[in-house]
Structure formats: C-alpha cells, structure tokens
Amino acid sequence: RIPAGPQIKAGEEHAQVAMVRQRLGLAVPQGGKDEVFDATLVAAVKAFQSQSGLKPTGTINTPVRTALNGALQ
C-alpha cells in the first residue's frame, strides 16, 4: 500500500515516488534516483490517471494513491 502523503509534482523528490514507480512497473533511470519524480514517471502517472478515469494531471495525489492501492485488491 502507498500511504497517505502530500501532493507530489514533477521534479520533486519523495520516498513515495519510488513506490509509485515500482507499482507502475518502471525501472529507475540510468544514473537517476528512484525517489525523483522524473518525466518518464510523469508520463506513466498521466497514462494511469487516464486509464483509471482520473484527470491526467501528472501529479501524485490522494486519488492516484487510492487508485493504485485499489489495483492491488
């Protein structure tokens, strides 16, 4: 489960970014950090939001966490 947390935007660094990256099946970019919300992950989050019926903002927020956690059930 991805716990509740702040809204995370492109370019920000947060521990939950690594969890979202893993849940969406993305590898850490070569030479990158898994906790940095990079352009590849933004695109993946937008695609996930669209597939989940959410507005594709590209931010990690409560609706995204809820949808990702719901996908585990």
pLDDT digits 0-9 by tens, 12-34? 999 999 999 999 999 988 888 99
pLDDT at 31: 86
End-to-end CA gap in the chain? 10
Confidence (pTM)? 0.93
Please compute the mean of the pLDDT values over residues 36-63 and round it to a whole number: 97
The CA distance from 71 to 52, in Å, is 10
Q: Which of 45, 24, 48, 21 is nearest to 35 (CA)?
A: 21
